[in-house]
């Protein structure tokens, strides 16, 4: 499971002309599910993202998590995070999980964050979405549950 995590002032996702998810200060998480991901991957990323210290404390040091600052998280599924662009010019998406598995693990991830007390907004799984991200810093982290990078 892969995630692009961005510290944001605000973020919003729309489908067609309707806003379906929106947050103020917090984290924007773009989430991709691999073919061999499972509950352990969900648990790892849920815990890592909830406790990732990327918000500044009173001394300007990144010492606080989204839990510490009372922020929200906007989660959007993005199967293209598992693309392989090493050969040719057309990306391969063979590492991306089937939609049924991906949606189930995506929902487990959202539930896990919610159970930690984090307000969570989402996009619509499988929909064509427009995502507005107001990155704060900018601060962007790449996470992989298999720790490949």
Q: Mind telling me the catalytic residues?
A: 78-80
Residues facing residue 23 across a β-bridge: 11
HEC-encoded secondary structure of 23-72: ECCEEEEEEECECCCCHHHHHHHHHHHHHCCCEECCCCCEEECHHHHCCE
Instruction: Give the pair of three-digit tokens for residue 99.
Output: 């939609």
Rounded Cα distance between 46 and 31, Å, is 11
Would you state the structure tokens that stand for residue 121, as one six-digit string?
């907004």
C-beta separation of 122 from 15 below 8 A: no
């Amino acid at each position: 499971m892969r995630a692009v995590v961005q510290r944001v002032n605000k973020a919003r996702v729309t489908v067609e002309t309707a806003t379906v998810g929106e947050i103020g200060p917090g984290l924007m998480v773009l989430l991709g599910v691999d073919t061999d991901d499972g509950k352990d991957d969900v648990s790892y990323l849920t815990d890592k993202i909830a406790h990732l210290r990327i918000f500044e404390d009173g001394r300007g040091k990144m010492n606080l998590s989204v839990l510490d600052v009372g922020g929200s998280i906007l989660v959007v599924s993005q199967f293209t995070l598992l693309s392989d662009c090493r050969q040719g010019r057309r990306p391969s998406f063979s590492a991306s999980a089937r939609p049924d598995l991906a949606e189930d693990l995506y929902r487990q991830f959202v539930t896990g964050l919610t159970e930690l007390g984090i307000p969570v907004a989402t996009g619509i799984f499988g929909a064509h979405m427009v995502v507005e991200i107001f990155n704060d810093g900018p601060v962007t982290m790449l996470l992989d549950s298999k720790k490949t990078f």
